[in-house]
Amino acid sequence: MAHRGGAIEHVENTLPAFEACVALGYRYLETDVRVTADGVLVAFHDPTLDRVTDQTGRVDARPWREVRTALIGGREPVVALEDLLTAWPDVRFNLDVKAAGVLAPLAKLVRRTGTLHRICLASFSDARIAAARRLLGPELCTSLGPKGVAALRLSSYSPRAAGLVRIQAGCAQVPLHLGGRPLVDERFIAAAHERSLQVHVWTVDDAQEADRMLDMGVDGVMTDRPAMLREVLDARGQWTGR
């Protein structure tokens, strides 16, 4: 899965970055979602334009007509999410919902474009994930929220806790480490698979680490180095691109 369109190999969250990943054969792209002051959804990570563009200010405090003029890396314009979702009908998107204000316009966009079955929503907020399910219904794919990840981790160590884990998700999307300690191991993966959850790890930018995770049995790998990950998967005979 190409994280932000491959943020090490390309200018993150830009149309050329995603185009390059699709040309490489990627069927799964990851991006972040924020909303402008006038309700336009954009593929953008930070709350402000400051870090990656030639402009400053909060994304949600400026209208789309201004945000669209900001150049990421001084070169590429901010992308409207609708343009991404409709660019490649056979590509799936993992969408990291960065703010509660994203949800209502996102639900409208997904319904209007008929893209419900091509998206999976993620968030660091359990409340946002629950709200997304209410808006878009049980067919929406979501990842586990923080509480669900913690409960899954606990259940991997304690059989008594296994019955306490309530699953309303299609996958667990998790970092390799949490709080300075390894999070993903064989027990965590087994606990997820017992509940029909896929395990997607982020963000893996080292070939040996990618091999180690795949050997362990993860179902998906997010990377800022999509060319590297394709080489790893090709060498393993596991590449299933477009």
The residues annotated with a catalytic role in the active site are: 3, 45
Give the separation between CA 147 and CA 151, rounded to whole angstroms: 6
Nearest to 32 by CA among 19, 9, 14: 14
Q: What are the angstrom distances between the C-alpha of 102 and each of 32, 75, 132?
A: 10, 26, 10
Question: At CB < 8 A and 24+ separation, what contacts does 42-50 make?
Answer: 42/67, 42/78, 42/79, 42/80, 42/81, 43/13, 43/78, 43/79, 43/80, 43/81, 43/84, 44/13, 44/78, 45/4, 45/12, 45/13, 45/96, 45/98, 47/98, 47/99
The structure tokens listed for 241 are: 């691109």
The structure tokens 């890396």 sit at: 73
Q: Taking a C-beta distance cutoff of 8 angstroms, is the pair 56, 50 a contact?
A: yes
CA angle 98, 99, 101 (to 5 degrees): 140
Find how far residue 132's CA is from the centre of its chain. 15
Count CB-CB contacts under 10 A for residue 203.
17
